[in-house]
Structure 1
Amino acid sequence: MVENMAVLFRGCCRFPSTLRISRVVLTGSGKARLPRSAGAGVVSAAARQYSSEPGGSKQKVVFVGIPNPVIWFRTKIYYFLIRAYFDKEFNIEEFTEGAKQAFIHVSRLLSQCQFQALEGLVAKDLIGKLEDKCSLLPLSSMQALSADPDEIMHSTPGDVGIYYDDNGRKFVSILMRFWYLTNARLPEDSVEGSHIFKVTIGEEGETESKRLLTAHYEFQREFTKGVAPDWTITRIEHSKLLD
């Protein structure tokens, strides 16, 4: 599985220096940390068009973020610190692309209840919690966990944290946010804050309902000398499906 993940990411980034998911990293107790920085907003627009009402005019799904100058500057400082003191080849754009591929792969495994396949990719203590939560979800909600590559509308880095524990071990965590569409049949009030779009399919004007969902995946890596440069997923949230 580790070798498969390496192949999965090799085409999108310089794997060893940016994003590699291959082994579990557990932090020690009593760890200290620097203040976390929230990611700056990003302005972007999806290329495809959707209509939110049957027979309505098509509209682009647009994600707009107005960055707070202080937060934006602080985030840039954290990226500089990572490059200066932890990994000189770190690149947030390549990391973001690698994290997106990891999100696609892990979300599919979750939707199929392949929890053993998550070992080495997701922290061990988190796998058990995910298995307990998934056991309570209906089939439609399980299907909604899987993010199709063509249905990911936007992804952006969020919080960045630098940690030190009592033994001097060093950690970096980066929270990634994803927005994706799903055609899973969910109850109208099952996912708070989501939006339903009517998507036109084919030339005959047939429509299909899709719901816009969000997911948060946190990646952590230990930068202590002598430790393998591996990123591990330590937090997974899917809208109101997995909190």
Structure 2
Amino acid sequence: MPLPVLRGGHRFRSTFSLTRRLFNHNVLPNRFAVRSYISDRGGQKPNQKVVVVGIPNPVIWFRTRIYYFLIRAYFDKEFSMEEFTEGAKQAFCHVSTLLSRCQFEALEGLVAKDLIGKLEEKCNLLPLSYKKALSADPDEIMYTTPGDVGIYYDDNGRRFVSILMRFWYLTSARLPEDTMEGTRVFQVAIGGEEDAETKRLLTANYEFQREFTKGVSPDWTITRIEHSKLLD
């Protein structure tokens, strides 16, 4: 199965299909447990553990399974939501890093052209701390879940699938308290309480879209980017 290539050598599986599905975003973690770091005095890399407790809506869960079946039956028989989620996380980390560095030219081919211009306008107005907070490290992603999903056709018979992915991630960027009201704050200790570091839990929504019309290359494009409290 061909793998779409992103700039910089990054590859994402073709099952990373953009299926915009009527999946409401009620599947949220009810509670986030603090990531615990256990450091060995011998200098070994700290062990990391993340515990997230979430209770999905059974109606939404069942409905999304129906859509996944339709995607496999009529669009991509090798579609896997697990593989898609992993690919989405890679894309999220890569694109969010490019945004934080204001490398907008590198977004071409990854993000819809009309969206790149809008992101550039917003990012250029952000203070350095906000730009830093845009970047998501793979090890700091606490929770990932599909949001709105759907399958649709245009007037010319072209077929599209899109999936909105929701991410919760930690950042150590220093952000003003007054403008970040409503976000969760964690004290993370590495090696001892004296080394405690404050991290804030942020959310982001990335929508991925792919055209499944016959003869069209299997490329996935990000058509929507939202970083709560940062790119509102």
Q: TM-score, normalised by structure 1?
A: 0.80
- Give the superposition deviation at 1:167: 0.4
- Give the superposition deviation at 1:205: 2.7
Counterparts of 1:150 and 1:188, CA distance in 2: 24
- Mind listing any 5+ residue stretches in structure 1 that lack a counterpart? 22-33, 51-59
Q: Structure 1 residues 3 and 62, CA, compared in 2 at 3 Å: closer, same or farther? A: closer
- Give the superposition deviation at 1:213: 0.4
Partner of 1:174: 163
2:6–2:110: 8 Å Cα contact kept in structure 1? Answer: no
Residues 32-91 of structure 1: CA deviation (Å, up to 9, x unaligned): xx97222573769768238xxxxxxxxx86533322222111111111110000000000
Q: Please, which of 113, 119, 128 is the counterpart of residue 124 of structure 1?
A: 113
Counterparts of 2:166 and 2:148, CA distance in 1: 9
Q: Please, which of 144, 148, 151 is the counterpart of residue 140 of structure 2?
A: 151
Q: Structure 1 residues 218 and 113, CA, compared in 2 at 3 Å: closer, same or farther? A: same
Partner of 1:48: 35
Question: Given the alignment of the two structures, is residue 196 of structure 1 paired with residue 157 of structure 2, yes or no?
Answer: no
- Mind listing any 5+ residue stretches in structure 2 that lack a counterpart? 38-48
Greater shift, 189-198 or 70-79, is seen at 189-198
> Superposed, which structure 2 residues align to 1:109-120 within 5 Å?
109-120=98-109
- Give the superposition deviation at 1:191: 2.3
2:210–2:218: 8 Å Cα contact kept in structure 1? Answer: yes
Q: Structure 1 residues 5 and 92, CA, compared in 2 at 3 Å: closer, same or farther? A: farther
Question: Given the alignment of the two structures, is residue 236 of structure 1 paired with residue 225 of structure 2, yes or no?
Answer: yes
Q: Secondary structure at the match of 1:205?
A: helix
- Give the superposition deviation at 1:154: 1.1
Counterparts of 2:112 and 2:6, CA distance in 1: 18
1:40–1:72: 8 Å Cα contact kept in structure 2? Answer: no
1:157–1:176: 8 Å Cα contact kept in structure 2? Answer: yes
Question: Given the alignment of the two structures, is residue 105 of structure 1 paired with residue 94 of structure 2, yes or no?
Answer: yes
Q: Structure 1 residues 197 and 204, CA, compared in 2 at 3 Å: closer, same or farther? A: closer
Q: Secondary structure at the match of 2:11?
A: helix
> Superposed, which structure 2 residues align to 1:216-231 within 5 Å?
216-231=205-220
CA RMSD of aligned residues (A): 2.6
1:41–1:64: 8 Å Cα contact kept in structure 2? Answer: no
Identity %: 73
Q: Please, which of 125, 141, 145 is the counterpart of residue 136 of structure 1?
A: 125
Partner of 1:160: 149
1:83–1:90: 8 Å Cα contact kept in structure 2? Answer: yes
2:5–2:11: 8 Å Cα contact kept in structure 1? Answer: no
2:160–2:209: 8 Å Cα contact kept in structure 1? Answer: yes
1:38–1:75: 8 Å Cα contact kept in structure 2? Answer: no
Q: TM-score, normalised by structure 2?
A: 0.84
Residues 93-132 of structure 1: CA deviation (Å, up to 9, x unaligned): 0000000000000000000000000000000000000001
